[in-house]
Amino acid sequence: MELAAILLAPAAVAACCLVVSRRTAAMLTVIGSAVVVFLALLAADRVLSEGSRAGLGGWLSCDPLGALVLLLVAFVGLMAALFSIGYLPRRHAAGGRVNGNYFSLYNLFLLSMLAVPILANIALVWIAVALTTLASAFLVAYEDTPEALEAAWKYVVLTTLGAVVALLGIVFLYWAMKLGGGGPFTWAGLRAAAPHLPPPVLWMGFLLVLVGFGTKAGLAPMHTWLPDAHSQAPAPICALLSGVETTTALYAVLRLFPVLETAGGVGARNWFLVFGLVSTGAAALLLVYVRDYKRMFAFSTVEHMGIVMVAIGLGDPAHFGAAYQILAHALAKSFCFFAAGAVVLVVGTQEIASVRGLIRVSPIAAAAVLLGGLTISGAPPFAVFMSEFAILKAGLGTAQYVAAGLLALFVVVAFCAMMQHVNHIVFGQAGPVQAVASLPATCVAALVLSAIPVLVLGVYLPSGLHRLLAAAAAALGGAP
């Protein structure tokens, strides 16, 4: 029943937000998101003890991989709601237009992302992914500048284009299922029917879904909209877009991997490796030249989506690393965007060149950027380092030297590029920036709360979370 409640809570809050004042709407959203986090923890706990959960007469279902994504969306959703309370009024004071529907749209966006990992029917999963775009379009355009509108336009048009391609892919998967003897059109049903699916139809379906949802996940070369949308949206929305929305789209692609492995003859591993390496490499190079620190974190998302794809393509030994990477990226990236939002509030510009010596102006924002930069670029001992290390180790252990070597190279280039930018922002000498404002208390609270898992999960992984990651890795594997 908790799965149905997870969808009900944001829907109810979204409806309430339409009629109450903005301040009440903000409080309701935080309370609703906290309830969702609690329910997601409950669901994850039950999934761990029972293997999987079903709800609403089989319409909802959740397995360990779904539970992992669900938990991440819920947690980042709560943190971003908290951050929004202090962030929005400040941006309005800086010249933005007040839009009363923010929290209503926010809850709809959260609802669509929560629905992706727990809907059973693949066709409904497609609708949920398509809705994430439509619900977040006006959140991306929220600041109402020409740049924000341009970003929102590219975001909507390119990801909707991807969604239509993925729609045809899902129709092909359904057709493959029917030709292979039928069964329930769910991820589990598809996996069970995998040996009987005709390879050409399955291959067509997979490629269309890969290109379609890959566009939404920000895989290169379909990533061009991503840095625009993820840099122009308000910071809490960026945290959701970059931290978990890309993950939910990637989740739908990853779900096909075990199906393809079981079916055989499609060469799934190579597709995952090539798309992953191209994304990681392109992002690493773009990170060197980036001028805007929010765009920097956005390109880093492209890099991390690529790393997850590579980890999946390396095969079963790397899958624990892949699940760990999904977890580490969502937590670290949302924290990075909160840090970026804090810097925007303090200094009022997004250009790396005009933010120098932040440590002397706002120690909190500077510490957050430093911590965010270190974690997301993969410095030890944080979680991203541990997961990347696990993936590389698995790649070398299975003698896939070319893929693992290229991955290591791109990760190192990205690390150096990001640390150079972060170093300039935090410790740079030439003319320290002027602070235009201090940080609101809720923003600091969100920063501190979301920093805890970022700091802890690299050195200490609670046993429940460890078991969830291992079970999610097993759900990604080829063996039934």
Partner 1 sequence: MTDPIASYILHLNAMAGGLFLLAAFAIVATRQMLSCVRWFVGQSLLLAASATAIGIGLHSWHLGAVAVITVFTKAIAMPWLLRRTVRRELYRRREISQVLNIPTSLLVAAALTLLAYAIVYPVTAMAAAPFVDINLSVGLAGLFLGAYTVAVRREAVSQLLGLLAMENGAFFAAVSIAPDLPFIAELTVAFDVPVTTLVIGLLTRRIHERVGGTSVGLLAALRER
Choosing from 175, 389, 427, 449, the residue that interacts with partner 1 (CB under 8 A) is 175
Closest CA to 352 of 294, 430, 303: 294
- The reply on whether position 381 binds partner 1 by CB under 8 A is no
**Most distant CA atoms of the chain, gap in Å:** 70
Q: Does 129 bind partner 1 (CB under 8 A)?
A: no
> What's the N-to-C CA distance of the chain in angstroms?
27
Q: Which residues pair with 62 in a beta bridge?
A: 53
Provide the sign of the torsion angle of the four alpha carbons 270, 272, 276, 279, taken in this order: positive
- Rounded distance between C-alpha atoms, residue 358 and residue 375, angstroms: 19
CB 122 to partner 1: min, Å: 9
Determine the size of the site formed for partner 1 (CB under 8 A): 49
Contact between 101 and partner 1 per CB under 8 A: no
**Token pair listed for 84:** 């929004």
| Residues forming a β-bridge with 54 | 61
**Bridge partners of 186?**
121
The nearest distance, CB 17 to partner 1, in angstroms, is: 18
- On the 0-12 / 13-18 / 19+ scale of CB atoms within 10 A, 73 is buried
The single-letter code of the amino acid at 461 is L
Q: Which is nearer to partner 1, 118 or 204 (CB)?
A: 204
CB of 154 to partner 1, least distance (A): 8
Q: Least CB distance from residue 459 to partner 1, whole Å? A: 36
417 sits near partner 1 (criterion: CB under 8 A): no
Q: Are 384 and 325 in contact (CB under 8 A)?
A: yes
378-to-38, 307, 372, 414 alpha-carbon distances in Å: 29, 12, 10, 9
CB neighbours of residue 49 within 10 Å: 8
In the complex, what is the shortest distance from the CB of residue 164 to partner 1, in angstroms, rounded to a whole number? 5
Output the six-digit token pair for 216. Answer: 């939404």
Instruction: Check binding of 286 to partner 1 (CB under 8 A).
Output: yes
Q: Which span sits near partner 1 by CB under 8 A: 28-36, 128-136, 250-258, 306-314?
A: 128-136
- DSSP collapsed to 3 states, 363-426: HHHHHHHHHHHHHHCCCCCCHHHHHHHHHHHHHHHCCCHHHHHHHHHHHHHHHHHHHHHHHHHH
Stretch that binds partner 1, among 200-208, 324-332, 367-375, 432-440 (CB under 8 A): 200-208
Residue 156 touches partner 1, criterion: CB under 8 A? yes
* 196 belongs to the binding site for partner 1 (CB under 8 A): no
Least gap, CB of 180 to partner 1 (angstroms): 11
| Shortest Å, Cβ 150 to partner 1 | 4
Q: Does 211 bind partner 1 (CB under 8 A)?
A: no
CB of 387 to partner 1, least distance (A): 28
Please name the residues in contact with 175: beta carbons below 8 A apart, sequence gap of 6 or more.
Answer: 201, 205
176-195: contacts with partner 1 (CB under 8 A): 178-179, 185
Which residues ranging from 220 to 259 are in contact with partner 1 (CB under 8 A)? 227-228, 231-232
Stretch that binds partner 1, among 88-96, 199-207, 451-459, 461-469 (CB under 8 A): 199-207
* Peptide bond before residue 221 is cis, with ω within 30 degrees of 0: yes
Interface stretch with partner 1, choices 1-9, 284-292, 372-380, 410-418 (CB under 8 A): 284-292
Residue 126 in contact with partner 1, rule: CB under 8 A: yes
Residues of this chain that interact with partner 1 (CB under 8 A) are: 121, 123-124, 126-127, 130-131, 134, 137-138, 141, 144-147, 149-154, 156-157, 160-161, 164-165, 167-168, 170-172, 174-175, 178-179, 185, 198, 200-201, 204, 227-228, 231-232, 286, 289-291
